[in-house]
């Protein structure tokens, strides 16, 4: 083939390709135009969507008036930042004490924003504890623009619930829903004041229920939702399609500080029990059995010859507790409490805490392969346990420990020579979090031997305020000394 013929053929193929391409493009545009002009949305589809929109709008309009904006103000004192210079003898020798004026404590006002839900016509408002924590002044703004000063009736940091009250008339309220009946996938609305934008409504579904070990509160049984929850939504309402309160919006899981599709709400049933306790008694009275419980792992199920991993394992029984009086023993597996099954320690703990002291309960257990039932009378948490479950001050503030059970010893392969108490939980943000880890075995504190939790309590009670601690502990197969300075 000559060069001229090759060029001629290339030109012909190019022209043909252009013609075909233009034809296809033209046909596609004609078809797209025809499709756009001829596309019809069926009347049935429009009716369904219209009814759905109307229903959600009615729910939102019904519950919005009961959701309020809460602004709190607190005074924060801070030390001047020149103390290191004024405390220097050389500096004071030349300049005297006159300049110490600049190092006096400073006060500044900090403002916080959140939400609340009016649950009673007498003016009781449910919100989060962290919304009103340490507040000197609380201002409640209603949906009709009225503003009232709020008074704290009571708070419960263990569940992050607080109750405040305002003096006002003609207050809108919200109906209570039963959070125990929630189902994953159920449609819900979240209402609050994110970033101070009042009366904001977002929608979503129930993503999960019974979320625990999130690290937000001591007693956790959170509802998880994908409805947008942002800063300022805390204390707002989570409602179902019947306009009933099923949760109090509390927190989000986020790596950016903003909404990422995972929000948490306190179930309404838990919030209601806490609220009633705070209003009637000024404190939360929780039920107590006196057992240490843990998750059943595949290895534990095998060791205890269990058919499956259902139930929770009793690791220890407190002396003279309701559990001991009922005949419960270490190694028993609790299957049911009053006919309801439990497989998570946190949910069983929450259930017991919600039982009024003095009530008799039926407990179904497995012992040595045999199923049996026992009856126990729930009591209130003893004062000494309330006080020392985790220290509320000092360098070991927020560090929870428990005795070492045979099960724990086997699970961690602890040598026989290692005795003490095991760290089971460290509150988020406390000073000791920088030094201790969960599963550390504390053997000595300030050269005093720790054999059990009673020793731990006694040593801590003798420590002076602000005193540091020398800890001798066992971690990852070896013993080490560690100093925790006064904070």
Any idea which residues carry the catalytic annotation?
130, 160, 234
User: For residue 39, what are the contacts with CB-CB under 8 A and spacing of at least 6?
Assistant: none
* Cα dist from 258 to 97, 133, 201, 228, whole Å: 48, 22, 16, 9
Name which of 398, 400, 401, 421 is nearest 409 in CA terms. Answer: 421
DSSP codes, 32-83: HHHHHHH----HHHHHHHHHHHHHHHHHHHHHGGGEEEEEEEEEEEE--TTH
∠ CA 396-400-406 to the nearest 5 degrees? 130
| Residues forming beta bridges with residue 128, ordered by sequence position | 161
> CA-CA distance, 75 to 211, in Å (whole number)?
34
Tokens of 71: 């602004």
> CA-CA distance, 225 to 185, in Å (whole number)?
9
Q: Is the dihedral of CA 177, 180, 183, 184 positive or negative?
A: positive
> CA-CA distance, 212 to 214, in Å (whole number)?
5
CA 244 to chain CA centroid, Å, is: 22
> CA-CA distance, 186 to 207, in Å (whole number)?
8
Q: With contact defined as beta carbons under 8 Å apart, do 118 and 172 qualify?
A: yes
Write phi, then psi, for 427 (nearest 5 degrees): -60, 140
Task: Judge residue 418's burial from the number of C-beta atoms within 10 Å of its C-beta, 0-12 exposed, 13-18 middle, 19 or more buried.
Answer: middle
| Residues forming beta bridges with residue 422, ordered by sequence position | 402, 441
Tokens of 96: 């005297």
Q: Are strands 244-252 and 175-176 parallel, antiparallel or unpaired?
A: parallel
Q: With contact defined as beta carbons under 8 Å apart, do 67 and 237 qualify?
A: yes
- For 483, what's the count of Cα atoms within 13 Å in the CB-facing half-sphere? 4
User: For residue 475, what are the contacts with CB-CB under 8 A and spacing of at least 6?
Assistant: 437, 439, 440, 441
> CA-CA distance, 337 to 328, in Å (whole number)?
13
User: For residue 126, what are the contacts with CB-CB under 8 A and spacing of at least 6?
Assistant: 116, 117, 119, 161, 162, 163, 235, 248, 271, 275
Report helix, strand or coil for 326: helix
């Amino acid at each position: 083939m000559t060069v001229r013929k090759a060029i001629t053929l290339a030109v012909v193929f190019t022209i043909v390709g252009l013609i075909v391409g233009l034809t296809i493009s033209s046909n596609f545009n004609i078809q797209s135009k025809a499709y756009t002009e001829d596309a019809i949305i069926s009347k049935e589809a429009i009716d369904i969507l219209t009814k759905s929109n109307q229903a959600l709008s009615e729910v939102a309009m019904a519950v919005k008036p009961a959701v309020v904006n809460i602004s709190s103000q607190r005074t924060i004192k801070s030390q001047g930042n020149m103390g290191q210079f004024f405390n220097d003898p050389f500096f004071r020798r030349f300049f005297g004490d006159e300049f110490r004026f600049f190092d006096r404590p400073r006060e500044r006002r900090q403002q916080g924003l959140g939400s609340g839900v009016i649950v009673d016509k007498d003016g009781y408002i449910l919100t989060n504890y962290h919304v009103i924590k340490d507040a000197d002044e609380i201002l409640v703004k209603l949906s009709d623009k009225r503003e009232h000063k709020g008074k704290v009736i009571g708070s419960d940091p263990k569940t992050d619930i607080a109750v405040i009250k305002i003096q006002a008339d003609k207050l809108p309220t919200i109906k209570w829903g039963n959070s125990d009946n929630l189902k994953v996938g159920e449609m819900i609305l979240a209402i609050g004041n994110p970033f101070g934008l009042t009366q904001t409504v977002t929608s979503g579904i129930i993503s999960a229920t019974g979320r625990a070990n999130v690290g937000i509160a001591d007693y956790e049984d959170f509802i998880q939702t994908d409805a947008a929850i942002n800063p300022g939504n805390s204390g707002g309402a989570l409602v179902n399609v019947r306009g009933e309160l099923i949760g109090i919006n509390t927190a989000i899981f986020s790596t950016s500080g903003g909404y990422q599709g995972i929000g948490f709400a306190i179930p309404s049933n838990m919030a209601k029990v806490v609220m009633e306790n705070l209003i009637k008694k000024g404190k939360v009275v929780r039920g107590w059995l006196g057992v240490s419980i843990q998750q059943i792992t595949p290895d534990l199920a095998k060791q205890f010859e269990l058919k499956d991993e259902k139930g929770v394992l009793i690791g220890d029984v407190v002396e003279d507790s309701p559990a001991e009086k009922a005949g419960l023993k270490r190694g028993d597996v609790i299957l049911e409490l009053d006919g309801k099954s439990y497989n998570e320690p946190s949910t069983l703990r929450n259930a017991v805490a919600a039982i009024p002291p003095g009530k008799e309960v039926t407990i179904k257990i497995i012992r040595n392969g045999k199923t049996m039932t026992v009856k126990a009378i729930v009591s209130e948490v003893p004062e000494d346990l309330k006080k020392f479950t985790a220290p509320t001050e000092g360098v070991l503030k927020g560090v929870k420990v428990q005795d070492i059970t045979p099960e724990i010893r086997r699970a961690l392969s602890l040598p026989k020579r290692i005795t003490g108490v095991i760290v089971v939980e460290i509150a988020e943000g406390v000073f000791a979090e920088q030094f201790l880890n969960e599963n550390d075995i504390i053997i000595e504190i300030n050269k005093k031997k720790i054999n059990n939790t009673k020793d731990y309590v006694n040593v801590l009670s003798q420590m002076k305020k602000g005193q540091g601690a020398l800890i001798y502990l066992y971690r990852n197969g070896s013993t080490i000394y560690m100093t925790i300075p006064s904070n």
